[in-house]
Structure 1
């Protein structure tokens, strides 16, 4: 992996962000829970020719953690703040994984001026009770165990958990776990809205990428069909077999092929 994929680094309010070059970005990347912007570097290393922006979510990577409930509306507004600070005519394509995918869906629904198209990699499906008040939450035990290890041990554990991941994925993944701000779990949390509800508000083109639920994917083929029926705009679902929740790590080449085809049409 190139050590210099992100040549430009900056901050907007509490948010750290990174660009591959000085040009205004045309594709923005939002990472998943407990990852960081640096986790996109192995993928971007194989995507020459795009001007990428990646953002550390609040409480992740080098971003700060505001003293307020941890909600998807806040993650949406964070992404909007950074994209608004370096706007591109017609908006950017926004690519998100997991938590970042749901954040991207919230952003596309609320700020069509900033998003020209959106890629959702295995987002959570959301819940019908998301309008209820914030609730306490806690750090997942697997994350507590990983964070207690030193970096080499975290890398080794990552390889043991997912032996088919490319080697260049392991160190950014392991590093990001130590960067997570544990105070996040002291803040109230609110589940996201159902993805199908958000899709009724998204008018730009959407690509949903998912794997197999038996391998950990949050999106089933049946739920992807429900998303197709709910979507207000141009919508396509791509199932990449034999992958789980981190499709881009489980099968980078098929993920890249699907992403490149979408970007060629909408970037």
Structure 2
């Protein structure tokens, strides 16, 4: 996936793009990473999704993307930047895939701007702590960026990265997650932490969405456990799919399985022909 950038009214927005040579004619998947990651984390999955135009952003405050103006942002603030980015790119119809904290952003975008969406995938979804007491919200807010600031990037990544993957994960995958964590900026990380601590996915998806929506989760996820993801799917009456032998970063642990689930969901929504049916 090639690194690109756009100048929006609110500042620089960086992203990666991959797919066919004529992107305007290709079905589009938009990929939103989680709190400890970046656009580059999707590279392994991208190899398993030929035929799609893939757009993976560096969320505001990540990579070289301009942080949000609001120092205490909600998921709706991220959704507005997402809308500005997709509008600037001329994306008219896509399937939106939000992983972990990105699932909260995807939910907020679905609530505010459903017109560009054919469907949404909530992968290993964070659901937020906005209904917790003040002490818990403060603990969640300070639990990541303060450690990064104190420990430094290398030590923080070494300690944290293995927890995002399954037990006995491929060392190359652990190294991949570590490398993405070492790109974190304390200020952007703190903004995202505030959103996680003080917002709720249910504020944006209080009832079943009108658009096709799928919940998926790695069956060995230790960060947002499968029982929580299944509970979300049950509450909203949504379909649920396990990603076998995968931890929280399920699209890194099990990219083939994740790609199959995503392709099965997106293909009919975006009008993509099934290759197995081609004469």
Give the shorter-chain TM-score range.
Answer: 0.7 to 0.9
Give the aligned partner of residue 208 of structure 1: 215
Give the aligned partner of residue 230 of structure 1: 236
Give the aligned partner of residue 10 of structure 1: 5
Q: Which runs of 5+ in 2 are unaligned?
A: 271-279
Aligned partners of 1:65 and 1:181 also within 8 Å: no
Q: 1:180 aligns with which of 184, 202, 217?
A: 184
| d(CA) in 1 for partners of 2:73, 2:116 | 22
Question: Shift in Å at residue 244 of structure 1?
Answer: 2.7
C-alpha offsets along residues 4-54 of structure 1, whole Å, 9 cap, x if unaligned?
Answer: x22x61223332122115613611100011200011011102211111111
Aligned partners of 2:13 and 2:58 also within 8 Å: yes
TM-score by length of 2: 0.76
SS of alignment partner, residue 149 of structure 1 = helix
Aligned partners of 1:196 and 1:227 also within 8 Å: no
Aligned partners of 1:28 and 1:93 also within 8 Å: yes
CA 1:166–1:96 in structure 2 vs 1: closer, same or farther (change >3 Å)?
farther
Question: Shift in Å at residue 245 of structure 1?
Answer: 1.6
TM-score by length of 1: 0.79
The alignment yields a C-alpha RMSD, in angstroms, of 3.3
Question: Shift in Å at residue 217 of structure 1?
Answer: 4.5
Q: Does 1:54 align with 2:63?
A: no
| d(CA) in 1 for partners of 2:90, 2:208 | 22
| d(CA) in 2 for partners of 1:73, 1:126 | 13
Give the aligned partner of residue 261 of structure 1: 264
Q: Which runs of 5+ in 1 are unaligned?
A: none
Q: Does 1:149 align with 2:178?
A: no
Aligned partners of 1:61 and 1:176 also within 8 Å: no
SS of alignment partner, residue 93 of structure 1 = strand
Aligned partners of 1:32 and 1:97 also within 8 Å: yes
Give the aligned partner of residue 227 of structure 2: 221
Which structure has greater helix proportion? 2
| d(CA) in 2 for partners of 1:197, 1:158 | 29
Count the aligned residue pairs: 252
| d(CA) in 1 for partners of 2:168, 2:147 | 19
Out of 31-40 and 73-82, give the one that drifted further. Answer: 73-82
Give the aligned partner of residue 273 of structure 2: none
CA 1:223–1:36 in structure 2 vs 1: closer, same or farther (change >3 Å)?
closer
CA 1:128–1:115 in structure 2 vs 1: closer, same or farther (change >3 Å)?
same
Question: Shift in Å at residue 97 of structure 1?
Answer: 0.7
Give the aligned partner of residue 23 of structure 1: 23
CA 1:72–1:194 in structure 2 vs 1: closer, same or farther (change >3 Å)?
closer
SS of alignment partner, residue 154 of structure 2 = coil
SS of alignment partner, residue 103 of structure 1 = helix
| d(CA) in 2 for partners of 1:40, 1:29 | 8
Aligned partners of 2:233 and 2:239 also within 8 Å: no
Aligned partners of 1:97 and 1:121 also within 8 Å: yes
Give the aligned partner of residue 71 of structure 1: 74
